[in-house]
Amino acid sequence: EIVLTQSPGTLSVSPGERATLSCRASQSVSSSYLAWYQQKPGQAPRLLIYDAHDRASGIPDRFSGSGSGTDFTLTISRLEPEDFAVYYCQHYGSSPGTFGQGTKVEIK
């Protein structure tokens, strides 16, 4: 089973600043089958990035994903008020499709 470890647990950022979130896998993620999701309170998760770096439909270009193998990054270039939320990474190349524990992006 691939274990995904996200860091930091909480990120305090001011609106307009850049946020960099990390997701590290315990073993290589095949074919970069890694996704990033955003979740706000009381809502279902929203897919942001798939295949490590492809933006999902309708996702603003301030969100970008990078990485391969065991190290992946989600970057939000300029935080908007609506971006303060919890972010999860997930691998889906094989079962079980584990999630990271999440990174909360909060207003500084």
Partner 1 sequence: EVQLVESGGGLVKPGGSLRLSCVASGFTFSSFSMNWVRQVPGKGLEWVSAITNSGSSVYYADSMKGRVTISRDNAKNSLSLQMNSLRAEDTAVYYCARGGSGWYLGPSAYWGQGTLVIVSS
Note the residues at the interface with partner 1 (CB under 8 A).
Answer: 1, 33, 35, 37, 39, 44-47, 50-51, 56-57, 88, 90, 92-102
Report the nearest approach of partner 1 to the CB of residue 1 (Å): 7
CA within 13 Å, CB half, 57: 0
**Cα of 59 vs its chain's centroid, Å:** 13
Residues across the chain: 108
Rank residues 66 and 99 by Cβ distance to partner 1 and give the closer one. 99
CB 80 within 8 A of CB 18: no
Report the nearest approach of partner 1 to the CB of residue 36 (Å): 9
Rank residues 14 and 57 by Cβ distance to partner 1 and give the closer one. 57
Residues in Cβ contact with 44 at an 8 Å cutoff, skipping those fewer than 6 apart:
none
Rank residues 67 and 100 by Cβ distance to partner 1 and give the closer one. 100
